[in-house]
Amino acid sequence: MRRYIFEIAVAFLLLVVTAVFLICNYLYFDNRSDITTIVVIVSTLCLAGIAFHSSRHMVNKELEAKARLERLADSINAAVIVWDADFHYRYVNFEFTKIFGYSEEDIRNGNEILHKVLPEDAFMPSLQAIINNRDEEFHVTAKNGESIATIWNTSIMEIIEKSDASGTKQYILMSIGYDLTELLNTKQELADSEKKYALSMELSEIGILLLHPGEHTLYVSEQLRNMFLLPEGDITIKEIRDIVHRKDSATIETIVSYVKGYRKTDTTVIHDASLRCKSSDGSYKWYQFRYRLIASPNSDAYGLGGSVIDITKDKEKDSLIEKMAYVDEVTGLFNRNRFMQVGQEAFEVTRDSNADYWVIITDIDNFHIINDTTGYENGNKLLQRMASIVTSQSSAGGYVARIGGDNFALIVADTGNESLPIAIINTIQTELRETKSDTFKTQTITCSAGYCKMSDSSIDFSKVLDQAEFSLSLSDGSRESVIRYDNKVHERVLRDAETEKEIAEAIENKEFVLFYQPKISLIDGSLMGMEALIRWIKPDGRIVPPVQFIPIAEKSMSITQISNFVLNEACRQNKEWQDKGLQKLTVSVNLTSVDFYQTDVISNIKTVLETTNLSPEYLDIELTESLALKDIDNAVSQMDEIRNLGVKLSMDDFGTGYSSLSYIQVLPISLLKLDRSFIMYLEQDEMSKEIVSAVIRIAKCKRIETIAEGVENAEQAAILRQSGCDYVQGYLFGKPMPADKFEEFITEHNKKLAENTGDFIHQAAG
């Protein structure tokens, strides 16, 4: 009404002016009818104008309000309904259509939409709730029928008087609705994570302890109460003291005095304490108490908050780790680390007193082959058996250990009897030989040993162990060998040093020559190839076998020069024979691990093949298994490169190293050479037979051919042929011989073979 005061005043003034005009007309112009008519018409027109202006103004105001609300609604990032207080739809914003999936067309008939959106039974109460201006949560049905959780807030935006000038007021309401789906998801996630948290607290059994600043009793969580069977409700420090092990009472008192000496600055520091407490089952367990001081905001009172976790298992793990560092897992004996420690202690006793010790190291002959053929678990059983045999031989003041693979070591106090170590070793050998089980029924298990006296002339225990190990290494693969480190062995060490010097001179003087040994096929007796074996012919004519200088050359690195000579000479000689029209054969050359791991080994082989003009398929490189074990990945890639040259690869002395059959299978070799130690007893020993046939079988599966070394009699050859072995090499068919003799051998062998009608094995033997 106030908005139209101007129009009312003008209308009122107009009425007054009209009345003045009519009175004047009556008083001064004898009430002339024409004047009266004009005045009435003018005033009526003026009144109509005022009324028209007023109504226009009101409509404009309404339109303005509507436009303003629509703009406002569109700017809100939520569903908005603008409506009258009598629940008549006026406007919904774009967000509303987006959330509930309605098009603009759908909502043109607003009330219908609202009925669709809100379920009929919820409609009225909902509207009521909306008008009551509360945070009202209800589900809205989207166009696709989906029920969407929403929360609504409603405000009165405008109060407009109705344009019909009836004076009634019109309330414009704006309801803003938020989609709760996301919020509910978050809530669910929160609830889930809360559950998880509670569960993890329960499972990990973390107990909570809280001392509020200024209070004297402690709050304990349910977990903590269950951990220690504490009474219900808050507890006192006495109850804590009662459960702490007396050995850790100092720890708890330290914490108490720390809390009492509270500083505000300390509250950020988190402390840890490990202590033993009586657990709910009555046993003492290890717990970790992690705590922090709590500051009171308005006083100097102290408080403390902390968590308690059972760490018994961790403590057990720690001691297990410690144990693992010193105890061999398979046998439970000391491992090498621990043996070195106790050995050093014994060594110091030897140095400081008259007490002496023996150090014995044993090695199960061909253990790794037993391991491969009978299975890892049975291998472990054998190690455990060996452990108990060796332990039974230890005496007071002595020690037993498994110092690696199948090597067991003993430290035995010296009783003054020089034959004591031999007696111990013989007993171990006898007991091991007599080991009978389902797995090792037919096999005779043997072991070799090396031993030495712990002498105070050594620098430390590791040198003593070196001596025993060196002696063991001299057993050279033969069974049940026992070697003592004595003056003779010591002299050998000195001799080796001398040989080292001589080798260097021999290379200069060209004292090395190659011998060749034939390799024969077990299928038809044909000559398949020859192995080039080096000989050192001294100026006095004495022939030094390779075992006496190759290992020394390896140590001094002069092996590279020797190997280059062998490679060149073998290829040159083979090509010469081929050019002479002799049978084309493959020549095998032995390379050591030192050669093999030289970076230029591949280019060396390539160069030799180029300079000698030998086709690569007539060259075979023999490598030992121990070489591959050093670095299997590198070995495989290096071997691949050799194979890529077209050169063959053989695994020499198979069975004497520590590799496993599965290992061999990953190496790109075409021929496996069974070591002489298996062949030596083949005709007498079941175990050798079993091992040999198992290895041949496995190799066949992998398409690897087999050759037996050191075949000396027809019986061995027959067994090998029966077992499926492809080739043989040994004195039975020909010893290593100089080049001129081998040349004759080729011709003669082929002549014999052509004439032969009987069995070539017996012929060779005869």
What, of Mg ion, ligand C2E, none, does residue 6 touch, CB below 5 to 8 Å by kind?
A: none
Stretch that binds ligand C2E, among 88-96, 342-350, 682-690, 725-733 (CB under 6 A): 725-733
Task: Report if residue 739 touches ligand C2E, rule: CB under 6 A.
Answer: no
Q: Which of 136, 653, 705, 726 binds ligand C2E (CB under 6 A)?
A: 653
Contacts with Mg ion, residue ranges (CB under 5 A) = 590, 622, 652-653, 709
With binding defined as CB under 6 A, does residue 620 bind ligand C2E?
no
SS3 602: helix
Verify binding: residue 157, ligand C2E, rule CB under 6 A.
Answer: no
110 touches ligand C2E by CB under 6 A = no
Residues forming a β-bridge with 140: 148
**Total binding residues for ligand C2E by CB under 6 A?**
23
Q: Rounded to an integer, what distance in angstroms lies between the CA atom of residue 285 and that of residue 315?
A: 10
CA distance 585 to 614: 11
- Contact string (CB under 6 A) for ligand C2E, positions 161-190, x = contact: ------------------------------
Tell me the CA distances in angstroms from 694 to 373, 616, 676, 687, one per residue in order.
Answer: 7, 31, 16, 10
Comparing CB distances to Mg ion, the nearer of 343 and 657 is 657
C-alpha 607/C-alpha 613 separation (Å) is 10
* CB nearer to ligand C2E: pick between 653 and 705: 653
If DSSP states are collapsed to H, E and C, what string results for 221-245? CHHHHHHHCCCCCCECHHHHHHHEC
Burial of 215 (0-12, 13-18, 19+ CB in 10 A): middle
Our finding on whether 387 is near ligand C2E (CB under 6 A) is: no
CB contact set of 138 (below 8 Å; sequence gap of 6+): 118, 122, 126, 129, 149, 150, 152
CA distance between the termini of the chain: 143
Report which of 104, 98, 69 is spatially closest to residue 175, judged by C-alpha positions. 69
The region of 167-175, 339-347, 631-639, 709-717 touching ligand C2E under the rule CB under 6 A is 709-717
Under a CB-based contact definition with an 8 Å cutoff, are residues 247 and 276 in contact? yes
Least Å distance between CB 729 and ligand C2E?
Answer: 6
Q: Which of 252, 654, 730, 742 binds ligand C2E (CB under 6 A)?
A: 730
Question: Of these, 421, 546, 655, 657, which contacts ligand C2E (CB under 6 A)?
Answer: 546
Q: Which of 590, 593, 604, 677 binds ligand C2E (CB under 6 A)?
A: 590
Among 431, 469, 620, 652, binds ligand C2E (CB under 6 A): 652
Q: Is 406 in the site for ligand C2E (CB under 6 A)?
A: no
**Residue 534: contacted member of Mg ion, ligand C2E, none (CB under 5 to 8 Å, by partner type):** ligand C2E
Residue nearer to ligand C2E on the CB measure, 150 or 656: 656
Residue nearer to Mg ion on the CB measure, 93 or 688: 688
Q: Which amino acid is at 296?
A: S
Instruction: Confirm if 456 and 351 have CB atoms less than 8 A apart.
Output: yes
- Residues within window 655-684 making contact with ligand C2E, judged by CB under 6 A: 676
Shortest separation between residue 720's beta carbon and ligand C2E, angstroms: 12
Which listed residue (709, 728, 745, 764) binds ligand C2E by CB under 6 A? 709
Of 725, 736, 746, 749, the residue at the interface with ligand C2E (CB under 6 A) is 736
Considering the rule CB under 6 A, would residue 566 count as an interface residue with ligand C2E? yes
Min separation Cβ 488 and ligand C2E, Å: 21
Q: Which does 545 bind (CB under 5 to 8 A by kind): ligand C2E, Mg ion, none?
A: ligand C2E
> Any contact of residue 710 with ligand C2E (CB under 6 A)?
yes
The sign of the torsion formed by the CA atoms of 34, 36, 37, 39 equals positive
Scanning 52-60, 92-100, 545-553, 745-753 for contacts with ligand C2E by CB under 6 A, the matching segment is 545-553
**Residue 450 or residue 546: which is nearer to ligand C2E going by CB?**
546
Beta strand pairing call for 727-728 and 705-708: parallel
CB-count burial class (<10 Å; 0-12, 13-18, 19+) for 3: exposed
- Only segment of 46-54, 211-219, 571-579, 703-711 that touches ligand C2E (CB under 6 A): 703-711
Q: Are 155 and 147 in contact (CB under 8 A)?
A: no
Q: In this structure, what token pair is assigned to residue 727?
A: 């080739």
- Partner whose footprint covers residue 405, from Mg ion, ligand C2E, none (CB < 5 to 8 Å by kind): none
569 lies in the binding site for ligand C2E (CB under 6 A): no
Which distant-in-sequence residues (6+ apart) come within 8 Å of 646 by Cβ? 615, 616, 617
**518 touches ligand C2E by CB under 6 A:** no
Position 12 contacts ligand C2E (CB under 6 A): no
H or E, element range at 96: helix 94-100
Contact region with ligand C2E (CB under 6 A), list: 269-277, 369-377, 542-550, 627-635: 542-550
Tokens for 414, please give them.
């010296």
Q: How far apart, in whole angstroms, are the C-alpha atoms of residue 651 and residue 624?
A: 6
Residue 547 contacts ligand C2E per CB under 6 A: yes
Quick one: 338 or 519, whose CB is closer to ligand C2E?
519
The alpha carbon of residue 147 and the mean position of all alpha carbons in its chain are separated, in whole angstroms, by 48
In angstroms, what is the minimal distance from the CB of 683 to Mg ion? 20
Question: In which element (H, E) is residue 205 found?
Answer: none
Q: How far is the CB of 533 from ligand C2E (least distance, A)?
A: 4
Quick check: 276 and 285 in contact, CB under 8 A?
A: yes
Cβ contacts of 678 within 8 Å, gap of 6 or more: 366, 369, 655, 688, 691, 692, 708
Q: Residue 273 or 513: which CB sits closer to ligand C2E?
A: 513
Longest dimension (CA), the chain: 179
Separation of alpha carbons 648 and 705, rounded Å: 12
Q: Give contact residues for ligand C2E (rule: CB under 6 A).
A: 517, 533-534, 545-547, 550, 563, 566, 590, 592, 622, 652-653, 676, 709-712, 729-731, 736
